[in-house]
Amino acid sequence: MIALTLLMCLNSEPANCHAEDVAFDGSIMQCAMFGQAVAANYMNGRPNWSLKRYRCSSRRLKDA
């Protein structure tokens, strides 16, 4: 698994941000191509948060 790391910020407090790792089943290249769509889908259920940036990493997730 590739780590797709999302930097999410609270809409009411833009300085209040945290990183969340989302499992991405694919290669780094696939993550670079489709990571934005996965991030957007992940953010759909989180209306109080906005996505500041995302990145793909080859490091393995601990839960994966």
Per-residue pLDDT reduced to its tens digit, 1-43: 788 999 999 999 999 999 999 888 899 999 999 999 999 999 9
Instruction: Quote the domain boundaries for residue 15.
Output: 2-57
Number of domains into which the chain is organized: 1
Top-confidence residue, 42 or 61: 42
Number of residues written out for the chain: 64
pLDDT band at residue 58, thresholds of 50, 70 and 90? Answer: confident
Instruction: Tell me whether residue 64 is in a domain.
Output: no
Question: Which tokens belong to 34?
Answer: 């489709």
Instruction: Tell me whether residue 6 is in a domain.
Output: yes
Instruction: Tell me whether residue 43 is in a domain.
Output: yes
Output DSSP code: residue 61. P
pLDDT of residue 64: 46
> 3-class DSSP state for residue 12?
coil
Instruction: Tell me whether residue 42 is in a domain.
Output: yes
Instruction: Tell me whether residue 46 is in a domain.
Output: yes
Instruction: Tell me whether residue 44 is in a domain.
Output: yes
Q: At residue 17, what are phi and psi to the nearest 5 degrees?
A: -125, 155
